Structure 1
Amino acid sequence: MIYKKRKIPTRLQALLALDRRLPLNHPLKRQIAQQIYDRQAGFAGELEYDKYLKEFRPSYPHAILHDVTLRQDGIYFQIDSVLITPNEVILSEIKNIAGRVIVKPNPLQFIKESPTGERAAMRNPVTELERKTQLLTKWMRERRIDMPIRCLVVFAYENELVIDAKSPVDILFTYDVPIYLRQLDVQQHISSRQLHTIARAMKQSDCSFITTPLAQTYKLDPAEIKPGIQCQHCDHTGMRWNKGTWHCPKCQHLTREGHVEAITDWFLLMDNKLTNQQFCNFIGAPNRHIARRLLMSSGLQLVGIRKSAHYVRKQEQEGEAGGV
C-alpha cells in the first residue's frame, strides 16, 4: 500500500518558477538551466525506481512512502523511498548518474567517470544512508518502534558499475529491485496493524522543509523577477482580472485560478510571507478587496492585524505518534 506518493521536489519547482520569471538575457539563465537539468534528471531517476517498485506485490502486508522528510533533534533528513515490511524498514537512496561509476575502498568512495574519461568524486550514498539510519533509529525509538533497518543504494539506469570495494549496503539497479525484494526472507516481526501504525506515524511526521526563497539565495533584486500572472496556454505574463476571471490578452484564454500559481511562485522566489499590497503589486489585482478575497480562498493563513497583517503558507503539523 502506498501511503505517500512522490511529487515534484520543491527546489525543482522553485527553479522552474525562477526560469519562467527571469528575462531571457539574465546572467543567471544558464546556471539555472543547468540546475534544472540536474534536478530533473534526479527526479526522473526516482520516478524510474517507482515504476519498477510497482512490480513488487507481496502476499504479506507492507507500506510504501516516497520522498519522506522527517525531523529529529532539530535536524531534517530526507529519504528517497521507504518500504515497511513485517520484518524490517528498507530505505532506498536513488541515484541517477550518467557514465561509469567506480566504487573504491579505503576510504569507501564513489567516483563517476564521464564518457570522455573525466573522473569526479560523487557524494557517498552509503555515508548518506548511515546518517539517515542513525536519525531514523532515534526517531523510531522515541515512538517505541523497534524495527531493524536495511539500506539500498539504487542506480536508476544501467550504468557501467565497477565495484572494487565491499559495500556495507547492497547496490542495485532499479530493474533489480522487485526481484531483490521478493527474495528477502520476511518473518512476522510485527503485526499488520503495527505496520500500518508505523506508516501512519511516518506520514503524519513528514514535514516539507521550507527552502529559502531563491531571490535571497541568488541575491536577486526583486525588480529582476517578472511579476504578473502567466498564462498556462501561451506563457504570456500579464493576465488581467475581469468580472471574476483572469483573461489573457494574447490568446484570450480564461481562468479563475490563474493567481494560484503566482502565489506559489511568490513563496518560492520572493519571501515566506505575503501582504495584501505585495500581492496586488505582484499579480496586478485591481484593488485590495479583490486581492484579500483571492488570498483568503487560496488556503493561506492570515497572521497579525491591521498594518502587520500578512499571509503565510499553512504548515503541516508534525504528528506525534504513540507507541506501536
Structure 2
Amino acid sequence: MLQWLKRKREPDATGNNELVLSEAFPSHDILWRAGTHLPIPDWQQQPWPEDGDEGTLHRHANGWAAAWLDATGSALDERYTRAESANFMLLSVLEPRATRVLLDYLERSRKRVLATLPGIAADHGHGKTVVMVFGEEENYYQYISHYGSGSSQPEAHSSGMFIDAGYGHFVFTQGAFDTMEPVVIHEMTHCLVRHLPIPAWLNEGLAVNTEHRFVRPRPLYRPQELEFLFTRFWNAATIQEFWSGKSFIRPDDGQALSYELARLLVQLLGKDYDALTRFCETANYQDGGEEAAKTVLGMGLDDLAAVVLGPGEWTPSPESWTDGTEKGQF
C-alpha cells in the first residue's frame, strides 16, 4: 500500500491560511502505466469503488491524487512538496508563500469562471483538482509527452495546459508565472466545461472570451489585418477543418486564425446568454454543433459564420471529416 502525507490549510495567529502537516493515511493501490519516464496512473484500468456516498468517493479520489503526486515528486527530486486548498491539490517546487499565493489564485479563478459561465461551467467529478508546477521545462515537456505531446520540446512553446485524461489536471512550468494569469483562467474554463461534448471551436471560444474578461488581451492582429487574413485563409475547405477542430492544431497561421474566429463566434452567441447556455447543453463535436444550432438558434452554423466572414460556403460537412474530430482543450 502506498502512503502519503495529507496537508491541510489552517489559519495562523494572523488569520492567514498556513500549510500545516497533518496525519498520514494509507492509499489504495494505484495501477501505473508501463514504460513511462514519470509515474503516470493507468486510469482506464484503475478500479473504482462500486458504491459509496459522495463523501466516500471524494476521499477515495483524493487518496489516489495524493499518492500520485507524492510518487511524482519522489521521481523528480526532494524540492517537490504537496499542498492543498479547498478545491485544489498542488505539487510544486514553490516556497511556502508562493504556494499560498498560487492556491489562493486558483480558488479565485475557479469562482470567477463558475460565476461567468453559469449553467455552462460546472465542477463535476470526485476529488480535488490536481495542479503540477514543474521546476524545469525539461521535466514539464517530458511529463506532457506521456499524453501525446511528443517526446521532446515542441517547436510551439507551451507554459501550461489542462490535461483531460483520466484524472483531469493542470500542468505548468515555474517560469510561466509572469504570464500565468491568462493561462490559468483559460485552462480553468476548459476544466469546468469538460463534462460537455462540445466542439473544439466552442470550447476554445469560451476559454478565450472568459480569459479576456479578466485579463486584458494583447491583440495579435489589428482589425483590418484580421479581416484581410480571414479573407485569404478561410474557404470551403479550411472551414471544414475549423468545424471539425483540426485547424486548431495546424502548424501555420491557421491555428491562430482559428482561435480568433472561435472568439468572435462565441462573442456573437454570448449576446443572448440563455441561447448560448442551451446551445452548449446540446452542441456535439461530432457534427460541429450544427444540429444544436438549427434547434436552439434557429439557423445553421453557416449563417453564424457569415456574420463574421461574409457570404461563403460555410456549412459543416461531417461526412468529409476523414481525419476525425477534436474536442478542444489543446
RCO higher in structure (CA 8 A, sep ≥6): 1
Same structural fold, with TM-score higher than 0.5 when normalized by the shorter chain: no
Higher strand share: 1
TM-score scaled by structure 1?
0.25
